[in-house]
Amino acid sequence: MSKEKLMKEEEFSVEQKLIALYSLQQIDSQIDKIKIIRGELPLEVEDLEDEIAGLKTRIENFNEEVELHNQTIIHRKEAIKESNSLIKRYEEQQQNVRNNREYDSLTKELEFQALEIEFSEKKIKEAQYKIEMLNAEITVAQTRLSERSADLASKKDELQDIVTETEKEEEKLIEKSRENEKYIEDRLLTAYKRIRKNARNGLAVVQIERDACGGCFNKIPPQHQLDIRVHKKIIVCDYCGRILVDNEVAEIVHEQLKN
């Protein structure tokens, strides 16, 4: 630490340090709120993007299945056409058979082709039914996709508005935070940042509320409360380690932040 900075720090009373610390906490808490607001929306946007990607993949898979079933129908119609052609040929051949053996052989071929036609017609009906079911699923998925795409566009607009709206405010608060840090000695500032990092809701400096710590809500002994009120030294909570300030410091800070 430089001699100049050390001299400056010695000029600040404990009360001034407490005011600077509590001001810093209030400013940092406002920055936290902005980050929380912005932090939720990007997650919602990300979830919507994932859902939309999933719906698109689902629709794509359904369409591929439909195409496979359409190919099955085309293949089976060709098979029916070929079977009918064979039936016609076998029927003509039956008119010119030379013996019963040839006739029976052609009859069996005719029966087989008839079964092939029946089998192909069955497969066509199955494919058509599956296509119908898949098209119903595609319609549902496309409706959902349209709805979620609209939701995504709305959320992105909302996020952009919030980012635009809060960027300048956040920059001002960050600048205020840096200004307040100048009034706090390095050792105290390091302690503040460490406590804030580990504390719930990022609260490192809290006000006494109903004779209790505003962070962990444990009762503060009367002697500690008196020490806090006289502003002669920095007092921390025996239970959670947060830095404690009284109503007077809190009121001064709130009044300063209004201006």
What is the per-residue pLDDT across 34-80, written as a single tens digit (0 to 9) for each? Answer: 888 777 788 889 999 999 999 999 999 999 999 999 999 999 999 99
pLDDT(1) > 60: no
What is the per-residue pLDDT across 111-148, written as a single tens digit (0 to 9) for each? Answer: 999 999 999 999 999 999 999 999 999 999 999 999 99
What single string gives the DSSP state of each residue in 105-171?
HHHHHHHHHHHHHHHHHHHHHHHHHHHHHHHHHHHHHHHHHHHHHHHHHHHHHHHHHHHHHHHHHHH
Q: What is the model's pTM? A: 0.54
pLDDT(107) > 80: yes
pLDDT(200) > 80: no
Go through the domains of the chain in sequence order and give each one's CATH number: 39-167 (1.10.287)
Tallying the residues shown for the chain, one arrives at 259
C-alpha 108, offset from chain centre: 66
